[in-house]
Amino acid sequence: MNMKDIFDGLRAALVMTMLLVGYVFAFLPDEGSDASGMKYIVIAFSVIAIPLIVYGGLFGLISGSWKKLLKKNESKLLPIFVASLAVLGTSTVVGGIFHLLISSKFVQAKFQAIAVAGAIFSSGFVVVALLPWLIERSEEKLKSLRLKHVFWATLIKIVVVLLAGFFFASRLAVFPTHVLWSLLLLIFGVPVMTLLGSKIEFKSTFANLALPISFCLIAFVGFFPSGKWASSSPIMRQQVSGNRDLVSMLTGPLRKLSDKDKDSHPGAWGGFDCDDQDKNVYPGAEEVPGNSVDEDCSGADAKIKEKQLFALSVVAQAIGAAKTESTKFSKKLKAAPKNIVFLMIDTLRADHLHYAGYARQTSPNIDKLASEGTRFMNAYSTSPHTPRSIPAMFLSRYASHTAWKGGQYNYPKILPENLSVFTMLEEAGYDTIGISSHFYFQKKQGVSRGFTRWDNSGFKSIADSNNDIASPRTYKKLEPVLEELSGSSKPYALFVHLFEPHAKWIGHKEYDFGEGNTTAEKHMNNYDSEIAYVDNYVGKILDKIKQLGMDKDTIVLLTSDHGEGFKEHGFFYHGQTLYNEVIHIPMIWRVPGWPKHAVSSNVSLVDIAPTILDLVGLKIPPAFQGRSLVPAMIDGQIENRPVFAELLPYTSWKEHHKTVIDENWKLIHRISSGQFELYNLERDPGETKNLYKEEKDRASKMKAMLDDFKQLP
């Protein structure tokens, strides 16, 4: 054993640890870095250094041994390397073909990765099984090969396979790009630095011995308190486990090992469990009010509520309906039409529409619709991504109160026991029709239940849909349906899904907003181009409705399932947070002959289904958690009620958050880390100044609202 080789590996591990800690820290969100920065650096240093110490020491030892072996040109080792080349080459090709033909069609990226790994290993096993036969028939040719050449060929192929895996993972978007780059640095950095260091003779005792030994001691000494430090405060927990980075990945196994009560909520290494000895107590657990136990780690036991939030009594509903009818009569309003066209534009944030105050002319047709009806200026999604927000429109139930199959996965299925507004319309004699072209609307998801017919033809796989331009084919399918409905005597409810401006954002030449100076600006410009592009199709649909004479007897609703982030709070895309860029969405209702209003009250996607039923004269079922917005359409105002949104843990993002918005105040509870954020949206629309510690009374009041929300029937 040559100690120099081992110390070469340890010095390489030290250099790579410092580089990776700096790289990870550069991508760390700014919040709380002043208070916890040094502790975080120690934690990051320890969890990165220890595996690199093992990796570096072993690589140094192994590389030294192989150097000696290669000099001898031991021919007996040739079959091993030839076998490695055959296995690597065949399994990589088979895995790539399998992904192109089969696994790329899978909905969940995790399943794609598992399927490709299975294809690679199974094909590799077949090659290994056939190797004795192959080597026996090529024995003469092997004699002419030199071990050094085969060794380097094998090494190059390994590098190529790893790089192919890197680009495969990048395309799947399972991890952020900077995480994949840090893994690439980790894998390749130590070998490269070790081999470079082996060329240098260190004469100084400090550089030769003291430095690598001190590095190892510091890493191991810092490791022991790091587990408690990582869970010592909400901000620290968020930084260690709530960010998709190398530190979060490396501490993941440590969190699982530190989970003493095995309830999947550890009390160390960035985990949060207020009682790690009781498996019934953890963040997000079902709270039993009045039993003196804080099951959900909210800070106190929930109080028993005599009257559930939003659960109006029959008398209250009757009074509200009577008041609405009285107002209709006094304003001499005719009854709302029975026909409905429901336009849903994917991933459309409200503040990028011109009518909502955006400087750019992104939405002339949507603006026109807004001017002709009631526009709710503070409408909110119930969840920050499609699979848990679209169901809320149809079911009038929040995601945590919806019956799912596979609720923990990226795309849970809606169970039949959920009551859909379209089921009620169909039972009332409506022709209920869905038009879309997106993989989410497949029948197996359950979202199309209650529709007489649904045309989702032409949809693409999850990977391909990200680059899709779906509106042209959606509109092509929609045109004949509108023509058919215009001549029908049967009432209809038509749902239309327009995919743009969902990522990846594609710039359209006819709607060019420039290149942009930064990555965020470039993406945002393309996003605005997508909005303008889909707005053109909204115009086509509205023009077609008018051309067919349907505009006089058809209610038009336009909304979105969620918005989109451009690193305002550290993230691109959606599905990771509950900030307004992701949950503040447009909602416009045009009822022919009714007043035009801009309503400032907070409303929610769960209000859509009860509003539809109220407009067409059907009874709102008790199972619906939303309320009718008809009074606002008539009178221009509606009583203030808090609205909620929630980020539930799913395959690609394990965070659990809830938020409540009451008038101009917003409280976010990051349940996963125990962190609270309070914002005044009037003074701070960008949600940049957390007032939780300053506004204790307001925070306490809104925490009580979240407790009420958990007890909704």
Mean pLDDT by 10 residues, the chain (713 residues): 77 86 73 60 89 86 69 58 66 73 64 76 69 59 57 66 66 61 79 76 70 87 89 83 78 87 85 86 80 80 58 48 58 87 97 96 98 97 96 97 91 95 97 96 93 94 80 96 95 97 90 86 94 98 97 97 90 91 98 95 97 96 95 91 94 89 95 89 95 93 89 77
384: tokens are 């920050």
Rounded CA Rg of the chain: 30
425: tokens are 């319309």
> Nearest 5°: CA angle at 462, between 457 and 465?
65
Which amino acid is residue 153, in one-letter code?
A: A
Which amino acid is residue 539, in one-letter code?
A: G
Residue 624: the pLDDT is 95
Beta strands at 554-560 and 339-345: parallel, antiparallel or unpaired? parallel
Where b means 16+ CB within 10 Å and e means fewer, 479-504 reads: eebbeebbeeeebbbbbbbbbbbbbe
By residue count, the chain amounts to 713
What's the CA dihedral at 169, 175, 177, 178 to 10 degrees?
Answer: -130
Render 660-677 in DSSP notation, one character per residue. Answer: EEETTEEEEEETTTTEEE
At the fourth CATH level, which superfamily is domain 339-611?
A: Alkaline Phosphatase, subunit A (3.40.720.10)
Specify the 3-state DSSP secondary structure of 511: strand
The answer to whether the beta carbons of residues 563 and 516 sit under 8 Å apart is no
Give the ranges where 565-621 is alpha helix by DSSP (H).
580-583, 608-616
Tens digit of pLDDT for each residue in 191-222?
888 877 777 766 676 666 788 888 889 989 98
The answer to whether the beta carbons of residues 393 and 605 sit under 8 Å apart is yes
Residue 82: the pLDDT is 61
Residue 247: the pLDDT is 86
Helix axes 3-26 and 33-72, enclosed angle (nearest 10): 150
Phi, psi of 500 (to 5 degrees): -60, 145
How far is 28 from 30, CA to CA, in rounded Å? 6
**pTM across the whole model:** 0.77
Return the domain boundaries, the chain: 3-230, 339-611
Burial class (CB in 10 A: 0-12, 13-18, 19+), 700: exposed
Residue 544: the pLDDT is 98
Residue 77: the pLDDT is 57
Beta strands at 339-345 and 492-498: parallel, antiparallel or unpaired? parallel
247: tokens are 């530190």
Q: Which of 249, 262, 186 is nearest to 241 (CA)?
A: 249
Quick one: DSSP state of residue 420? P
Across the strands, what pairs with 665?
662, 680
How far is 616 from 628, CA to CA, in rounded Å? 12
Give the ranges where 415-502 is alpha helix by DSSP (H).
421-427, 462-465, 471-486
Beta strands at 572-573 and 565-566: parallel, antiparallel or unpaired? antiparallel
How far is 531 from 585, CA to CA, in rounded Å? 13
* Residue 402 CB coordination number (10 Å): 20
